[in-house]
Chain A
Amino acid sequence: KNEVEQSPQNLTAQEGEFITINCSYSVGISALHWLQQHPGGGIVSLFMLSSGKKKHGRLIATINIQEKHSSLHITASHPRDSAVYICAVSPTGNQFYFGTGTSLTVIP
């Protein structure tokens, strides 16, 4: 059983659509991270959350600690948002458990 489950695995959207990616986890955590991996393989940290909600530009991340669930939202999606989005949880901070990622394709 994976400690972190993401859905959907694949997502195709039209430019401008509102996108939601979900992450559920089964372990107690000190923090949850949302990462973006581009086709070239580079990974960028988008958010680190331990409670509540964070917003950065068109990206919004929320976390519900009681329900062990987080969502990543992209408003007004754009083709350059096409990437793999990875949820990672950190139980103690010295290690991450990663979801398998959500592959997003935004069509112009």
Chain B
Amino acid sequence: GAGVSQSPSNKVTEKGKDVELRCDPISGHTALYWYRQRLGQGLEFLIYFQGNSAPDKSGLPSDRFSAERTGESVSTLTIQRTQQEDSAVYLCASSLRLATEAFFGQGTRLTVV
């Protein structure tokens, strides 16, 4: 497809389980961003990838959160030992390069029960 694709679109998981969220950026986009949006709150930055450079992980809320990206392709965001406060919409965005227009995926709605 032409846009940023995220999967799954919805995920319900039990507290304590691990989850993996996937983002397929637009082909050729070197920059990839993960954000989350808790219910009724604004967007929070989680992590940023730019090409093959070391990612900016400054927004990850705890060591239970990790993300990987191989080159300029798919990224996965992993949350270990999920907690109820992890419930949110996780959004991925990509841009052609630094400081250019970002395009967002539809998000993954994560519910931890």
B102 touches A33 (CB 8 A): yes
Count residues on chain A whose CB falls below 8 Å from chain B CBs.
23
A57 at the interface (CB under 8 A from B): no
A42 at the interface (CB under 8 A from B): yes
A59 at the interface (CB under 8 A from B): no
Mask: chain B, 43-54; 1 = CB below 8 Å from A; 0 = not? 101001010000
Interface residues of A (CB under 8 A from B): 30-31, 33, 35, 40-45, 48, 86, 88, 90, 92-96, 98-101
Alpha-carbon distance A95/B107, docked complex (angstroms): 18
A45 touches B103 (CB 8 A): yes
Residues of B9-67 contacting chain A, CB below 8 A: 31, 33, 35, 37, 42-43, 45, 48, 50, 56, 58-59
